[in-house]
Structure 1
Amino acid sequence: MLQTSNDRRWGHLLAERWSHEPGDLPPQLPRDTEIAILLRGSSVVDREGAGMRQRTFGRRGTVWLCPAGIREDFIRVEDQMQECLHLFLPGKPFDDTMLRDLDIDPSGMSIRYESIDRDMFIEHVADRILAELAQETSTGRLLIESLGRALSAHLVHSYAASSVRLKQSYAVQKPLDARRLSRVTEFIDASVEREFTVKDLASVACMSPAHFSRSFKAATGTAPHEYVSRQRLDLAKRLLSTSDRPLVDIAFAAGFSSQANFNRAFRKAVGTTPSHYRARKGQD
């Protein structure tokens, strides 16, 4: 394994980067829905699951789906796959997306066991996840929650094993009304130092998470995680300027898992390190 998101405390998906050598992989019975995306390398991959045998020429962008509970009895990689991203969607958030956002009974729906030559939406989500893995942001968990929900909905729309009746698409999304927007922004201001989810924000607005995210962006011009990111950056600046709290405490308050990740993100956003920013403000 090259990298894992285990230390990031993401609740809506697990991400792992792997390098696969030629040969047979052990049989597996995934508890979660798995999406594998080939990032570097090419190889013929033979696999067997759900009573089907598949032979795929994998190249950059090839996707393999394996629904939760489907045993893969045989997987063979003919040539080295230098880098492959594996995404695992846990059952509860996946089911919650179907029930609350799509109005679908999860017990009557399943995803196909399938290999896909290319899926631009999955590639886009993978790129966002890889960027967050490479450099943690203050609202990474909010971003990953939104990406996990969007990915779950995409799988249902595009790769359901049987036809499902979906909610009417929100082509034109009504902005969040002023009263609900005020409640949400007040909640964010009061809770900016603690961990919360898009689902928590949606509950404040009395909406489903997907509907809330679209309405919030229509009202503010930014996604929820982008809005919270700005609030947390302002918090970090304020604490650096007006308090003597240790940098590691400020990093955790701003939503980072480590001081090192906080230092990198702060320097990228502000152009200087937290230490230099504090010293400069102390001289003003």
Structure 2
Amino acid sequence: MLGHSVDKYVTGRLLDTSNDLRWSTLHAERWSHMPGELPSLTPRDTEIAVQLGGRTFVERVGDGRRQKTHGHRGTIWLCPAGIEENYINIADPMVDCLHMFMPAHPFEQTMLRDLDIDPARCELRYDVIPQDPFIEYVASRVLDEMEHETAAGRLLIETLGIALAAHLVHRYSAATIRIPESGDKPLDRRRLERVENYITAHLFEDFAVADLASAACMSVAHFTRSFRAATGRTPYEYVSGRRLERAKHRLMTEDTPISEIAAAIGFSSQANFTRAFRKAMGVTPAQMRASAQK
């Protein structure tokens, strides 16, 4: 999944991208923007741009609105899919900015399936947001995952994508939208058992939160809350822990190269695996193996 940024940010420089991380509900890019006027564009994805540092001045016109913004760390520009931006001018350099793209089709699926809201009623505003702690939190987790891949990062990003979609609809819709309330009733024993069996059978495969929700016969949003209520952990935390525990067992009982173990549990590099393993276990994979051989 790619955002529309290559066609839009012609004066900028791409610093990092989530392209190789196989995310499905959200795509992220980190850009450095130089001063200049950008081309008119009608985006196919909903874009949330979060300034990460410094100060800038941006003028833009879209949806019949002209906005002049003195940007700073935490300033957010929201551009919904399908709304033409007629004019954008970046007057001062924006040295670091995170752009998150939510594709229109999965976004609509989230509205219908997980929030029980008609997408036709969910027209987001073309807006500038001085500060939003939740969006900043999502941005920080996305950045962490881009910089330091974890054992179940896809599950994390999918969960964040669903939560971000709900937040945008609740806070920044053109019409007042009421997010349906649902209790945090834990998964019952049989549903939880089906989910755990699915995870065990597919532990090292590239499955999604939707696959776990399907095993429980629930919507993704409802499943995520109920799973946490039952286990005390999010699906991401649970699967990540299971994968790293399995890696620990292999390190202590096999002579398989660490690079092969890293690849087997879904890491794109041994360095990323080492970083995540040390964070979870307190030692590197090599140190774990050495301790088992004493």
| TM-score normalised to structure 1 length | 0.94
Matched, 1:86 2:128: no
Alignment of 1:109-124 (within 5 A): 109-124=122-137
**Secondary structure at the residue paired with 1:194?**
coil
**Which position in structure 2 is the counterpart of 1:56?**
69
**Which position in structure 1 is the counterpart of 2:36?**
23
TM-aligned CA deviation for residue 116 of structure 1: 0.9
Question: Which stretch shows the higher mean deviation, 62-71 or 242-251?
Answer: 242-251
* TM-aligned CA distance change 1:166 to 1:280, over 3 Å: closer
Matched, 1:178 2:189: yes
**Which position in structure 2 is the counterpart of 1:126?**
139
Matched, 1:45 2:58: yes
Within 2, Cα distance between the matches of 1:101 and 1:240? 40
Write the letter of the residue equivalent to 2:249. R
2:225 to 214, 223, 228: 214
Write the letter of the residue equivalent to 2:159. S
1:231 to 228, 242, 248: 242
**Secondary structure at the residue paired with 1:164?**
coil
TM-aligned CA deviation for residue 165 of structure 1: 4.7
Write the letter of the residue equivalent to 1:41. G
Within 1, Cα distance between the matches of 2:195 and 2:70? 48
**Could you list the runs of 5+ residues in structure 1 that have no partner in the other structure?**
none
TM-aligned CA deviation for residue 249 of structure 1: 2.5
How far does the alpha carbon of each residue in 1:204-255 deviate from its partner, in whole angstroms, 9 at most, with x for none? 0000011001001111111110011110011101122223333232112222
Q: How big is the alpha-carbon RMSD for the aligned residues of Structure 1 and Structure 2?
A: 1.4
**Could you list the runs of 5+ residues in structure 2 that have no partner in the other structure?**
1-13
Alignment of 1:56-205 (within 5 A): 56-167=69-180, 169-170=181-182, 172-205=183-216
TM-aligned CA deviation for residue 77 of structure 1: 1.2
| TM-score normalised to structure 2 length | 0.91
Are the equivalent residues in 2 in contact too, given 1:93–1:149 (CA < 8 A)? no
Report the count of equivalent residues: 281
1:6 to 19, 38, 41: 19
